[in-house]
Chains A and B, each alone.
Chain A
Amino acid sequence: MPDSENKALQAKVKREMTGPAEQTRPGPTFTPAVDIFETDEEITLMADMPGVKAKDLDIDLRENVLTLIGEVASPEGPNEVDVWREYQTGKYFREFSLSEIIDQAKIDAELRDGVLRLRLPKVEAATPRKITVKAG
């Protein structure tokens, strides 16, 4: 991103999710910031999920709904007390409905330094089918 050069990063409060469904477990749920881009072959999703380990990340795709759930263990030790708090930690949740048909077998996910990179390859375009209307 050329426009980002020499630009100072602004602090942002993590977006907290508000949904109609209540959580069964207490604690805040955050919406991770994502980049989504598409080429002819695939859709790529990048999500910032700091504090999530690969084993605690759950990616689910069914009926064209992609769900990302990342659990975050509290980073603080048991004897630590707050001196100053500017951000909260909690689980990440985000859902997308995909308009493209995804080749489930070729999905590839990589989580590195708290950033998820999810490749969703498109299914090769189905051959167009011509429907002949019978005259009755």
Chain B
Amino acid sequence: MIVRRLTDWPTWHWRSPFEEVEGMRRKMDRLSEGLTGGVLRGPIAGVFPLVNVTEDSHSYYCRAELPGMKADDLDIAVTGNSLSIAGERKITDEDKNASYHRREREAGKFSRMISLSDHVDTGKVEARCVDGVLTVVLPKAESAKPRQITIKTS
């Protein structure tokens, strides 16, 4: 697991020199989405859970689909500049006499690290789990928020 954490790809940063390239790639994806009617997909890190990250002027929002999991079952930590989500999804054993026809739902342990820019107010991070969807709100630090500049006229 340690090896996996270290090599946990992608270790992207929100303010990286590749941001522009990334933006172009997203635009290309949107274009191909329009052509094929398909769905825009980011590269999959292959690490459970899959996450979506969005931002507005105040915060970053990190979301993951974790059906059947309660907030108490999750171990969420913000240390330094990384967000870690870990836990174990358990599927309770059913009646011994039951015979299974389909078994598609999976149980197991998971651990994922997401690199954050250091412009996050780690003290005000909030997480909630509603209807099997985890949302972690990471407020941007004051220095990272966009600021309206008024131009003085002399």
Contact = CB atoms under 8 A, between A and B. Distances in A.
Interface in B96-114: 97-111
A32 B53 CA distance: 23
Contact size class for A?
35 or more
B89 A9 contact: yes
Interface of A: 1, 4, 6-13, 16, 28, 33-40, 44, 46, 48-53, 75-77, 79-88, 112-115
Interface of B: 1, 12, 14, 26, 39-42, 44-57, 60-61, 63, 65-70, 89, 91, 93-95, 97-111, 129, 131-133, 135
Contacts of B131: 50-53, 113-114
22 contacts: A4-B91, A6-B109, A8-B1, A8-B109, A9-B110, A13-B50, A28-B39, A35-B105, A36-B100, A37-B95, A48-B68, A49-B67, A50-B66, A75-B63, A75-B133, A79-B57, A80-B55, A80-B61, A82-B53, A83-B55, A87-B51, A114-B132
A48 B54 contact: no
B52 A36 contact: no
B3 to A, nearest CB: 12
Q: Chain B interface secondary structure, helix, strand, loop or mixed?
A: loop
A50 B65 CA distance: 6
Given A4-B91, A8-B109, A9-B107, A35 B54 contact: no
A46 B44 CA distance: 26
Contacts of A115: 67-68, 132
B56 A77 contact: yes
A13 B44 contact: yes
B68 A37 contact: no
B135 to A, nearest CB: 7
A23 B41 CA distance: 20
Contact of A35 (B49, B100, B111): B100
